[in-house]
A = this chain, B = another copy of it.
Amino acid sequence: MNVFIEPIGKLINQFTKLPGVGAKTAQRYAYKVINMTEEDAAEFAESILNAKRLVHYCKVCGNFTDKDVCDVCATRDNSVICVVKEPKDVLAMEKAHEFKGVYHVLHGTISPMDGITPNDIRIKELLERISQGGVKEVIMATNPDVEGEATAMYISSLLKPLGIKVTRLAHGIPIGSELEYADEITISRALLDRKEL
């Protein structure tokens, strides 16, 4: 005899598809759903369908939006473009409340090992945006890993001949962390990029 009846087993199975959710957590989530009111469960199910149905990529920057052109592209300073790997990186940037320009989501980084070439990510779209004029600076905010660095260097090599200023997010010791726990590469980078006080 199966431990779970079918509808519960199926729901648990669905929850395990979420990142970092194992059998035990999925089971807790499923029991929570069963204890919800009928309306709350319906609302939950609908929010999943709506998120999938209404959300698509902004035709300018490639970030998620429920409009044709996202609010950021429609309302902010178009002369500075911040290039990121994924939509969730836009979120991370926005939470800092520091950047006032617009974004360009590459949807990946160049990775020959995984067969991802410059043609597989949204570099062509970035060049098209820039060819329309008005862009003064492009900030490369791809991750500080091998692929992210390579992608930043590659795009930089395409843009510099066009007279565009290309910058990269600073690397260093994270604010609020302890030097003791910083890895050696971060420390050596922070040392190289040290600033005069």
Interface residues of A, Cβ cutoff 8 Å to B: 1, 3-8, 10-11, 13-14, 17-20, 25, 27-34, 36, 38, 40-55, 64-66, 70-72, 75, 87-88, 91, 94-95
| Contact in complex: A66, B14 (CB < 8 Å) | no
For residue A86, which residue of chain B has the nearest CB? B31
| Contact in complex: A7, B46 (CB < 8 Å) | no
The 8 residue pairs across chains A and B that have the minimum distance between CB atoms: A41-B52, A45-B45, A11-B51, A7-B54, A45-B48, A11-B47, A14-B47, A7-B51
| Stoichiometry, copies per complex | 2
Q: Which residues of B contact A95 (CB under 8 A)?
A: 3
CA distance A17 to B4 in the complex (A): 23
For residue A1, which residue of chain B has the nearest CB? B71
For residue A63, which residue of chain B has the nearest CB? B5
CA distance A196 to B87 in the complex (A): 64
CB of A123, distance to nearest CB on chain B (Å)? 21
Query: Can you offer 19 A-B residue contacts whose CB atoms are under 8 A?
Result: A1-B75, A3-B94, A3-B95, A5-B66, A7-B51, A7-B53, A10-B47, A10-B50, A11-B47, A11-B50, A18-B29, A18-B32, A19-B32, A30-B51, A34-B51, A38-B52, A41-B51, A42-B49, A45-B45
| Contact in complex: B51, A10 (CB < 8 Å) | yes
CA distance A72 to B2 in the complex (A): 10
Q: Which residues of B contact A7 (CB under 8 A)?
A: 47, 50-51, 53-55, 66
Q: Which residues of B contact A18 (CB under 8 A)?
A: 28-29, 32
Q: A13-B47, A34-B64, A38-B52 provided; 18 other pairs, C-beta below 8 A?
A: A1-B71, A3-B94, A5-B65, A5-B70, A7-B50, A10-B51, A11-B47, A14-B48, A17-B32, A18-B28, A18-B29, A20-B28, A31-B87, A33-B48, A36-B52, A45-B45, A45-B46, A48-B48
